[in-house]
Amino acid sequence: MIKRIIFTAIIGMMSIISVNAQSCGIENKAFKSGEFLVYDLYFNWKFVWVKVGSASMSTMESRYAGKKVFRSSLTTRGNQKLDGIFVMRDTLLSYCDAATLAPVYFRKGALEGKRYYVDELWYSYPGNNCRLKMHRIDADGEQHWINKEYTDCVYDMMSIFLRARNFDASKMKKGDIIPMPISDARRLTNSWLKYRGKENFKVDGTGEKFRCLVFSFYEKEDGKDHELIRFYVTDDQNHLPVRLDMFLSFGSAKAFLRGYKGVRNPMSAKIK
């Protein structure tokens, strides 16, 4: 549960209302090849915030199936303190069309204790629909293949991040609800965002202060709405997530942006 929340928190920052699959592309104005982001992860242990690991994400231009794409990878690594609660040694990989950011391939390899499993998604767009070929390798080695087709756009946890960073939030109002159509190799998640307005935030450790847009991520489970994450993204064209508050069944966790390089646009949300 906590691993899924951390992944979703780091990469499911903002989304847009789902439209016909013909419009699954979007113009990229938010990032460029060579961007690199680093986060510190903290857990509230007996009323004390303890650093338990780190996460990093890189985006580079590459080629996939003969096409120019953005190759994005996310790695999370827990330290020895976190290993006492759960092991986190995971890597996510995504290929999105360089011109439209429409997803073409996604892979997640997750190590949990002695369990290791793999999720894969292949995308195609026949007849203006979004078709997914889904592949999962369980920890016992058993393989599962599923084919799904949707009339709306569907994304994975990585591709939604790249698309969402190009979302124009200037016309949003406090309280607005934004669906998040995210799939893994098992199911489509019933989840959404709620816009909470704007706040200023000072990053611990670096001392940098930013004007931020604040969102909450919700999932419906057992007929109830659960707020899983509250996050802060820079109120500029980069839309970099700088703070994440994660509400867990057994405590609280946070992630803070520790470093960034290769960003495309000026960090105009930074307060001097």
Per-residue pLDDT of the chain (272 residues; tens, 9 = 90+): 444 544 455 444 444 333 333 468 889 999 999 999 999 988 876 677 888 888 899 999 999 999 999 999 988 777 776 666 665 678 899 999 999 999 999 999 988 767 889 999 999 999 989 999 999 999 899 999 999 999 988 888 888 778 878 878 888 899 998 887 888 899 888 788 889 999 999 887 778 999 999 988 888 877 888 888 888 889 999 999 898 888 766 567 788 999 999 999 999 999 98
230: CB partners within 8 A, 6+ apart:
196, 214, 215, 216, 217, 244, 245, 247
User: Residue 98 CA to chain centroid, in angstroms?
Assistant: 18
What are the angstrom distances between the C-alpha of 210 and each of 201, 249, 263?
5, 30, 15
E strand intervals along the chain:
35-45, 48-64, 67-78, 89-97, 103-112, 115-124, 130-137, 143-150, 177-179, 182-183, 188-189, 191-202, 209-221, 224-234, 241-248, 251-261, 270-271
State the alpha helices, DSSP H only, in 98-151.
none
- Model-level pTM? 0.81
3-class state of residue 21 by DSSP = helix
Q: What is the count of structural domains for the chain?
A: 1
Phi, psi of 105 (to 5 degrees): -160, 145
CB 49 within 8 A of CB 40: no
Q: Which domain holds residue 19?
A: 2-271
| Token couple for 137 | 């390798």
Report the distance separating Cα 13 and Cα 217, nearest Å.
8
